[in-house]
Amino acid sequence: MDLLLLEKTLLGLFAAVVVAIVISKLRGKRFKLPPGPIPVPVFGNWLQVGDDLNHRNLASMAKKFGDVFLLRMGQRNLVVVSSPELAKEVLHTQGVEFGSRTRNVVFDIFTGKGQDMVFTVYGEHWRKMRRIMTVPFFTNKVVQQYRYGWEAEAAAVVEDVKKNPDAAKNGIVLRNRLQLMMYNNLYRIMFDRRFETENDPLLLKLKALNGERSRLAQSFDYNYGDFIPILRPFLRGYLKICKEVKETRLKLFKDYFVDERKKLASTKGANNEGLKCAIDHILEAQQKGEINEDNVLYIVENINVAAIETTLWSIEWGVAALVNHPEIQKKLRHELDTVLGRDKQITEPDTYNLPYLQAVIKETLRYKMAIPLLVPHMNLHDAKLAGYDIPAESKILVNAWWLANNPDNWSNPDEFRPERFLEEDAKVEANGNDFRFLPFGVGRRSCPGIIIALPILGIILGRLVQNFELSPPPGQSKVDTSEKGGQFSLQILKHSTIVLKPRSV
């Protein structure tokens, strides 16, 4: 059987070579393509550039090939955009033309081939899903309804850290407690549920499954089968694991959260407005026939990954920056003490009246962007960009990290300096008002979670600095901020041990 598979693979490769050469010659006559390294048949540029298409490697290529360049990865066209002007063209001016999402063998599994909102193609389904998700998740009303819960969760973090004797001496891995906080913040909104401890058995199951989903989806290990379909039989084991994780996660969401919420609503009355949380609104849309049960579960899947983990990554980067820059930590603490007073803990409305805190948040998002390439875009039809032809169904990557770290765009971008957002870049906001800084994207496919992420970042960073002096463990001058990249994520490689010494009253 293995020999037969090998024979078929070799025959397929030979046929693909012939087809690729013919197509290449035909397209060479028809298209004016962006510049890029010269591709070889079948493999394109894959053997030249490798799997690890991270933001730094793509920035290096942009220096060589220009602000827009083309990589042919097997049968996929990958167009990389690296200037604010072209980012505006892709995300705003031609937001409809480039508003879809690319297909991917692994993300197809985890999203049911685009039955969610984040990874679906641009069209009626996306508009419907965006509308259904906006009201229960992404409005100022939601922020005002749940901000007291976010403040309570931040207060609980502070109290738990104070009770831990290791925190003030040898340090603790703060991420573990922050992760519990983020699950509680989002599960309050989704299901009106929370977990009492980091060791809650249900939370441990969720974290394990979400972590495995993230590992499988963000890995570069499956690219060869995604780029060259004839090689996909070799991915069967990998894809089988993905399907098992997907099915187990969706069953967990359904059995322990969605169905439980349905039972509660039927017991106490569906018209009881006091009961309503996000899943209640989404289930109403299902009852009206606007979406099906699978869509409901894929909405939960999106929130578990896109809202919880990405915000957690940014909090981790922010804490590490404050630890490694004690002078910035001191300035932030001075602002909090001066504006609020030593006895008042920061609340959500306070975050908007603390310019240095806002500058720290923006500099964190600029310096270590959680989604440095944004979520990839795609043009369903042939399109034009910067005078070049972009073939239909090309994968478009906007290197948002390079836009925010290019020395042509920023003064000393390698320096973590919040003051830039109070001085030369004082008018730049995280909402995409300046195309040099797009941590949440901009336009139709921008991340709506900005309305939740920014206040949560402000509350937790503010409370930590108000209550503790943050420093590296004994014997270390800094915490390690090495990067761990994925298909389009940027996480901290090692979850840092932080010393949190309570401030004297």
Residues 72 and 352 sit within 8 Å (Cβ to Cβ)? no
Per-residue 3-state assignment (H helix, E strand, C coil) for 318-370: HHHHHHHCHHHHHHHHHHHHHHHCCCCCCCCHHHHHCHHHHHHHHHHHHHCCC
Among 259, 115, 279, CA closest to 191? 279
242 labelled ligand-binding:
no
Task: Give the three-class secondary structure for 383.
Answer: strand
Which residues make beta-bridge pairs with 71? Answer: 78
Contacts 24+ apart (CB under 8 A), 126-129: 128/290, 128/291, 129/291, 129/295, 129/299
- Residue 231 carries which DSSP code? G
Residue 457 CB partners (closer than 8 Å, separation 6+) = 311, 314, 315, 318, 361, 364
Phi and psi at 470, nearest 5°, equal -95, 130
Among 499, 458, 151, CA closest to 326? 499
CA 459 to chain centre: 20
Residues 443 and 93 sit within 8 Å (Cβ to Cβ)? no
Residue ranges of the binding site? 447
Known binding-site residues for heme equal 447
